[in-house]
Amino acid sequence: MIPQDVLDLLNNLTIFTLAILVGFAVISKVPATLHTPLMSGANSIHGIVLVGAMLIAAEVDDPIGYLLAFVAVAFATMNVVGGYVVTDRMLQMFRKKPAARKPAEADAEAQA
């Protein structure tokens, strides 16, 4: 009989290994043109750590725990929100044909 905690560990390792293989398979096809948005998008995905930070925050009951959980939630949210927004900003710029827009508009966007 395998003890339950060892079984849990094996399950988690299985998930981990398969997810790495999926990552390799999916990412190796991305063209160099999209490497920056890819990295930035992947960056946002690891913001999932917010889920962990929230679960921890709901259970802390001492001042040090409050502080750690607060910083963890703030860090993770910054990662999620900033990551997705900045990736979207990058990706909306990729166009197949030059869009008809005035240079002034482009400059204003560059300043923004």
Partner 1 sequence: MDTLGVIEVLVRVLWIAGAVCFVLGLVRMNSPATARNGNLLSAGGMAVAIGATVVLILARQALGDGFSAVGWIIIVLGVALGGGLGLYTARSVKMTAMPQLVSLFNAVGGGAAALIAIEDYLNLAGANAAVPLSTNVFIVLDIIIGSITFTGSLIASGKLQGMIPGKPIMVPGGQLVTLALAAVTVIAAVILFVTGTPNVALMLVILAAALIFGVTMTLPIGGADMPVVISLLNSFTGTAVAMAGFVIDNPVLIIAGALVGASGAILTKLMADAMNRSVINIMIGGFGGGEGTVGAVAGAGGSVRDVSVDDAAIQLAYAERVIVVPGYGLAVAQAQHGVRELAELLEARGVDVKYAIHPVAGRMPGHMNVLLAEANVPYPQLKEMDDINPEFPRADVALVIGANDVTNPAARRPGSPVSGMPILDVDHAKNVIVMKRSMGRGYAGIDNELYTLPQTGMLFRDAKEGLSELVAAVKAL
Could you say which of 2, 4, 7, 57 contacts partner 1 (CB under 8 A)?
57
Binding mask 75-104 for partner 1 (x = CB under 8 A): xxxxxxxxxxxxxxxxxxxxxxxxx-x-x-
First to last CA, the chain: 63
Q: 55, 23 in Cβ contact below 8 A? A: no
Of 9, 91, 85, nearest in space to 47 by CA: 85
Rule CB under 8 A: say whether 28 interacts with partner 1.
Answer: yes
Rule CB under 8 A: say whether 29 interacts with partner 1.
Answer: yes
Rule CB under 8 A: say whether 108 interacts with partner 1.
Answer: no
